[in-house]
Every structure is written in C-alpha cells, then in structure tokens.
Structure 1
C-alpha cells in the first residue's frame, strides 16, 4: 500500500527530511531553488488543506489519470508540471528561506492533526477523497525532498 501523509509517522519523517534542507542545496533536477521549492510546497499544501469538497468528479479521463497515478506509478515523475499558480520560480527571495522552511514544518504537521476530511478537486485527477489526497500529498512532498537529495 502507498504511503500517506495522513500517517503521523510519515509526517514525522517528512518533517525530519525537510529540516535537513539548507539554503545552498541545489536541485538534482528541475529549476527551483530550495527556497522556491519550499514556497511552492507551502502554497500548494495550504490550498489542499483549505479546499472545499469537490462539486464535480472530473470525468473519465481524469479518473484514468488518477488510477494510474495512485495505483500504478510509485512516485511523482521528474519534470512533472504543476498548476501555474504554484510556480514559484523567480518569485521568492532567497532571504526568506528560514521563514519558508518554518512554514513547511508547520503546514506538514497539520496533516497529522486534521479536524476535517480532505475532499477537494485536483486539476489533473478530478475529485479526490481523503485517502487519495493523503497519497497524493505524500508523493508530492516526497518528490520535492528527493529533488534536493533528501
């Protein structure tokens, strides 16, 4: 079974890995700096945590993409493009690294203390339930930590 950010042990592991990130670390792939990556994750995860329940399913193409991503693939592919609104390249001052890192730890920690079920709409996969969001979030954050060798 896939790892999930909804597992408190996974949250602890993600926070420990993220805590080892340094401002001077460079990505093994992609173009974001460590500060930009943290800001990207923070923005995306804040959005996920406060998303209202999906009002539509997304259709069969999104359903197939969701099945492939959640049940066939084992990790986020390198070079996967996210939504434009989460693109932080060139938009974050490197001086904000410690602030973004602190936010990252705080936001990731929220997944182990949720007072509601995640049920928002994903632009590529359509409606995701709580369990599916847990897997997606784990894969997203793991992808970016691996991007920086963590």
Structure 2
C-alpha cells in the first residue's frame, strides 16, 4: 500500500523521527544542514497547505513524470533540485533549529486535521489531487529524514 501523510500514524511517526534529529547531525547526502532542511520542509509544507486549486491541465511530460514518481519510483530522488523559493542553503542560522523543529511539528500536525482537500499545482507534476499530495508530502519528508539518518 502506498505511504501517505494521511495514513493513520504517519504524522506521529514523522514527529518521532524528527525528535531524534540534532542540529549538528551530518547529512548522508546534499548540502543543507539540519536547520536548513527543517526550514526547507516547513516552507514546502506551508506552500502545499495554502496552495489554491490548480486549473491548469498537466503537460504530457508532467503526466509521465507523475506516473514515474508516484507509481514506479520507490523513493524521492537524491539529486532532485528544489524550486528556487525552497532553496534555503545559507539563508537560516543554525541557532533557529529548535524554532524550525517546533514549526515542523505544528505544520505536519495540520495534515492530520485538514478541513479541505488539497488540490494545488506542483511545478514538476502539474495539478495534484488530495491523494497525490498526501503521497508527495510523505515521500518528501521521508526523503529528508533519511538524508539525516532518522
């Protein structure tokens, strides 16, 4: 069965993993430190939670990428580049770790208690429905937690 942020226990499992994260943890790959990673995830989750419904039709390329990412690939690709607005390398001080960690907890908890269906657009995959957003969020957060070994 596909993993999703909406599955029972998924949010609690992500929170437990982040509780094991420390500000000085070295990533297995990538260039972000732990504070930057949390900030990056927080920015992405805020954008997803607040995205307006997309009316754009996906391109053929977006449909192929969506099929591959959600139905063929098991994990989020390690070399994937973030959209420019989510690239936070060097933009947040490591002393903000506890603040970013608390915000992370608050934002992922919102996925447990949504009062709407997510329907926003994604720059790579085009319009995603609630089901695909649940899978995307889980894969994205899992990817970054694996990046730091938690």
Say yes or no: TM over 0.5. yes
> How large is the Cα RMSD of the aligned pairs?
0.7
Instruction: Look up the SS of the partner of 1:8 in the other structure.
Output: coil
| Counterpart position of 2:146 | 146
Q: Deviations over 1:42-100 (max 9, x none)?
A: 00000000000011122111011001000000010111111011001000011100000
TM-score, reference length from structure 2: 0.98
Counterpart-to-counterpart distance in 2, 1:109 and 1:93: 24
In the TM superposition, 1:57-136 aligns within 5 A as: 57-136=57-136
Q: Deviations over 1:93-120 (max 9, x none)?
A: 1110000000001101110100000100
Q: Tell me, yes or no, if the aligned pair for 1:19 and 1:105 is still in contact at 8 Å.
A: no
Gap regions ≥5 residues in structure 1:
none
Q: Tell me, yes or no, if the aligned pair for 1:18 and 1:145 is still in contact at 8 Å.
A: yes
Instruction: Look up the SS of the partner of 1:66 in the other structure.
Output: helix
In the TM superposition, 1:45-64 aligns within 5 A as: 45-64=45-64
TM-score, reference length from structure 1: 0.98
Counterpart-to-counterpart distance in 1, 2:63 and 2:13: 30
| Counterpart position of 1:28 | 28
Gap regions ≥5 residues in structure 2:
none
Number of equivalences? 150
